[in-house]
Each structure stands twice: as structure tokens, then as C-alpha cells.
Amino acid sequence: MATPYTPEQVLGLLSISPKAKGNELVIRCPIQGCTDTSTHMSINKATGQVYCLHCNWRGNILTLFATMQGMNSKEAYAVILKALGIWNESDMEGSISKIQKLKEENRERAIKLAPSPLLPMNDLSMTYWELLGNLSLSNEHTLSLKERGFEDYFINVREYKSAPVNDYHLLLPDKMAMNGVSLEGVPGFHKNEKGKWEFIKCRPGIFVPVRDNEGRIRGIQHRIDEDARRIKDGKKESKYKWVSSQSWEGYTNGCGPQGVVHWACEYDFSPRLRKDHPRLNRSDEDGKYIGLTEGPMKADLFFQLSGVPTIAVPGINVQDHLVSALKEAKAIGVTKVFGLLDMDYESNENVRNACERIVQSVTSTGLIYQRLTWDKEFNGIDDYYAFKTKGIRR
Ligand SMILES: [Zn+2]
């Protein structure tokens, strides 16, 4: 859909003068926390798609404007049109009727459809970007992440957000429909009895985007706040859950998450392959290496503190996609994997067996495995590094 404004006009409103480069505009990345000192952000003149090679921020000219101005997309759209003197109420009615039409179409389809197959990966990732773009991170959550050792820029770039609470989950689908992303086939979205799209109702917690080897968001882990965790059979439920809309009674068109191995790394764009790939910036006498741990947030924190690109299985017993992730790693030049699994692995037989399966997966892929150990006072590698680099003791 053509927009009534050009990327140049919107940049003008932000007082940014771009340089032209073929069919793209390039600018110094204005995203808060990005350390770009050159012109790593490119904007496609025709589509308005925006991408920063430095911090991997992605979106379009509208969401860039919205992010810079601290608004949602709908507000930003109105502000841009008003600033350019091309605003009239019927534009707004136009987009509202578009949403209404979408809703009606969805209602019709709701009758026919069973659980939805997952969207193709690129589209799924676009929807999750749009979702996260409509969420914010509460001060409380920011503080708790910083107390663990996370830096502001990293939290921002990795798009950690607070799970939507109150009734915000009901508003999200309409907000997101403004930008034309698909909700069908995206874990977390489903339709209610009336055929209206909803995002799942969440308990308070932090959304941790799970990214693949191309930087695409393939799923979201929900880290539930300590005081919101339920007791089940006398045991506290697990701290992390996948954002999923699989098994909700009275709802249709939902779907469950895919098992995915998370990459905590920087990405480089390969013009030849026309996609991102993990930046392998560490090597020793055995060649290029990566770390391997359990839990995306743990991998993210360790990567931020150490700079070592690290992959993470979502849970110690969830290793379905590990071998294919290791094969992808090998294909881009990884020769060695450092095992960074929690230090208590020896005391728990279940965990010990799971660790052994991980070692088997690594060696059967033809990669060198080396277990790292550290002071047992710190169970996780992230906690150990937070202490080592910042003196944080939790
Ligand atoms: Zn950037």
C-alpha cells in the first residue's frame, strides 16, 4: 500500500538529512543505544523499510518515526500527515474501515479454520517485531534487568518488553493491523468467540525475543514475574513459558510455538546471500568458537558481558533443533563449542543426562566440545560473568 508521504518527508520532520545511495537512503542510526558513528541505517525509498546494520533495528519509516517520538504507529501516522499538511479526517476513517473489513474477513474465516499452521519465518518475525514495537518495558522490569547486569542499549536493541497487562492485549491486534502484518499463524494470537483477533492474556513478566541465526524473531519466551508464578502440585511452575495460543478453550486460529535454538550474537549482512548471519568474532587455536547454554536470557546476558556469540536451547530437555542449529553454525565456520551449562549439572541426574545428549549432538556434528567450569558459587555462566565483570552478586 502506498503511503501518502515519502521517507524523505518523514526524515525531514525528524530533522535528519539522509544521503542517497541507489534506491536507498542512508543515515546515522538514531535509535537510542545504537553506537553507529557512520551511516549504517538504510531506508528503502520505495517501500519505506528501515534496517540498521549496526544494531539490527528493523521497521519502516512510520515505526521509526513512532519510536523516535515515543508514540504508537497510529498516533505517528496522524502526526506525520498533520505536519505535512495532508491530514484529513477521511484518511483516518479510511484506515478504520480497513480494520473493520479485516475483522469481517477474519470472522468469516474463523468458521472454517482449525488450528493454524505457522506463518513462514520471515513473516512471523515481522509480526513479532510489530508486536514488540507496540509494547514497552516497565521501569520495574528495566531495573530488574539492570540489577542482573544488563545494559540499557542491549535491552533496547534486543527488544526486551513487558508482557501486556490489563486489557492491552485486546487492543494490540487492531494497532498491529494498521501496518498490515499477519496475525494468523503467529503463536500468541487467536480469535475469540466473536471472531475477533486477540493476543493472549498475560501475567506480568518480561518478553524475551528468541532469535535465529538470521536475527529473525522466531518465538518469544515469557519470563513470569516471581510473585505471579503459580504453585502447581506443591511446586512453583517454571519461570519461563513460550508465548503460545495453542490450547485455549473457546478460541480458534491459535497455534503453538516452534522449538528454536536462540542465537545471542551480532549479525552481519551478507550481500551475496541477501541475509544476516551471526558474526563470529572469537577464535582460539582450534578455530572459531561459540558458547552453548540453556535459556535465551542467560545467553543474551553472557553475550553482552563477554562478547562471545552464544547459542541457547530453550530448556535443558528441549534439544529438538540443536543438531540443525549446530550444522548451521558449522556451515558458517564454527569449529568449536564451549559448554556453558549450569554448574549444578553433576548433582542432578536428569540434568546430567541432558548435558550428555548435548555433548553428543555437538560431537556428532563434527565440532569440538569443551566444557567450561567456574566458581560453583555462581550456578549460571551469566551470574558468574556479572560478578566477574561488574561485581554483581545476587
Ligand atoms: Zn542502529
Domains of the chain with bracketed CATH: 7-83 (3.90.580.10), 89-242 (3.90.980.10), 262-390 (3.40.1360.10)
| Ligand 1 centroid from CA 35, angstroms | 7
By the CB criterion, residues less than 5 angstroms from ion ligand 1 are 29, 31, 34, 36, 52, 54-55, 57
C-alpha–C-alpha distance, residues 141 and 162, integer Å: 7
CA angle 369/285/293 to nearest 5° reads 30
Q: What percent helix, strand, coil does the chain show, rounded to 5?
A: 35, 20, 40
Q: For the chain, what's the residue count? A: 394
pLDDT at 173 over 80: yes
Q: Which three-class secondary structure state does DSSP give residue 289?
A: strand
104: which 3 cell numbers?
Answer: 469481517
Which residue from 301, 293, 263, 299 is spatially nearest to 355, judged by alpha carbons? 293
Average pLDDT rounded to a whole number, residues 205-211: 97
Burial per residue of 303-341, b for 16 or more beta-carbon CB atoms within 10 angstroms, e otherwise: bbbbebbbbbbbebeebebbeebbebbeeeebbbbbbbb
For residue 325, what is the DSSP state? H
Confidence class of residue 231 from pLDDT cuts 50, 70 and 90? confident
pLDDT at 195 over 90: no
pLDDT at 9 over 50: yes
Provide the pLDDT for residue 104. 60
pLDDT at 36 over 50: yes
CA distances from 43 to 64, 122, 318 (A): 10, 18, 38
| Ligand 1 centroid from CA 274, angstroms | 19
Confidence class of residue 204 from pLDDT cuts 50, 70 and 90? very high
| Ligand 1 centroid from CA 195, angstroms | 39
| Ligand 1 centroid from CA 260, angstroms | 25
| Ligand 1 centroid from CA 157, angstroms | 8
Yes or no: say if 97 and 180 are a contact pair by the CB < 8 Å rule: no
Confidence class of residue 232 from pLDDT cuts 50, 70 and 90? confident
Q: Burial level of 225, CB count in 10 A (0-12/13-18/19+)?
A: middle
Torsion of CA 17, 22, 28, 30, to 10 degrees: 80
Average pLDDT rounded to a whole number, residues 56-75: 86
| Ligand 1 centroid from CA 88, angstroms | 33
Average pLDDT rounded to a whole number, residues 126-149: 96
C-alpha–C-alpha distance, residues 290 and 232, integer Å: 37
Non-local (6+) Cβ contacts of 387 within 8 A are 378, 393
| Ligand 1 centroid from CA 205, angstroms | 26
More confident residue, 370 or 271: 370
| Ligand 1 centroid from CA 73, angstroms | 20
CA distances from 381 to 289, 312, 353 (A): 16, 12, 19
pLDDT at 197 over 80: yes
| Ligand 1 centroid from CA 36, angstroms | 6
Average pLDDT, the chain: 88
Average pLDDT rounded to a whole number, residues 276-300: 96
Provide the pLDDT for residue 111. 40
Provide the pLDDT for residue 211. 96
| Ligand 1 centroid from CA 352, angstroms | 41
| Ligand 1 centroid from CA 254, angstroms | 33
More confident residue, 286 or 104: 286
Residue type, 290: I
Average pLDDT rounded to a whole number, residues 46-70: 87
| Ligand 1 centroid from CA 64, angstroms | 11
More confident residue, 65 or 101: 65
| Ligand 1 centroid from CA 68, angstroms | 12
306: which 3 cell numbers?
Answer: 563477554
| Ligand 1 centroid from CA 80, angstroms | 22
C-alpha–C-alpha distance, residues 307 and 283, integer Å: 12
Residue type, 249: E
| Ligand 1 centroid from CA 249, angstroms | 42
pLDDT at 259 over 90: no
Provide the pLDDT for residue 94. 57
CB count, 10 Å around CB of 218?
24
Most confident stretch, 28-42, 122-136, 189-203, 346-360 = 122-136
| Ligand 1 centroid from CA 141, angstroms | 23
| Ligand 1 centroid from CA 6, angstroms | 21
C-alpha–C-alpha distance, residues 66 and 390, integer Å: 34
Beta strand 41-44 with 24-27: parallel, antiparallel or unpaired? antiparallel
For residue 38, what is the DSSP state? S
| Ligand 1 centroid from CA 218, angstroms | 21
| Ligand 1 centroid from CA 115, angstroms | 37
Provide the pLDDT for residue 179. 80
| Ligand 1 centroid from CA 34, angstroms | 4
Provide the pLDDT for residue 266. 94
Average pLDDT rounded to a whole number, residues 236-241: 89
| Ligand 1 centroid from CA 135, angstroms | 19
Average pLDDT rounded to a whole number, residues 57-80: 86
C-alpha–C-alpha distance, residues 111 and 252, integer Å: 9
Summarised one tens digit per residue, pLDDT across range 334-352 is 999 999 999 887 777 878 8
| Ligand 1 centroid from CA 356, angstroms | 39
| Ligand 1 centroid from CA 154, angstroms | 11
Question: What percent of the chain clears pLDDT 70, i.e. is strictly above it?
Answer: 92
| Ligand 1 centroid from CA 57, angstroms | 6
Provide the pLDDT for residue 110. 42
| Ligand 1 centroid from CA 42, angstroms | 10
| Ligand 1 centroid from CA 225, angstroms | 30
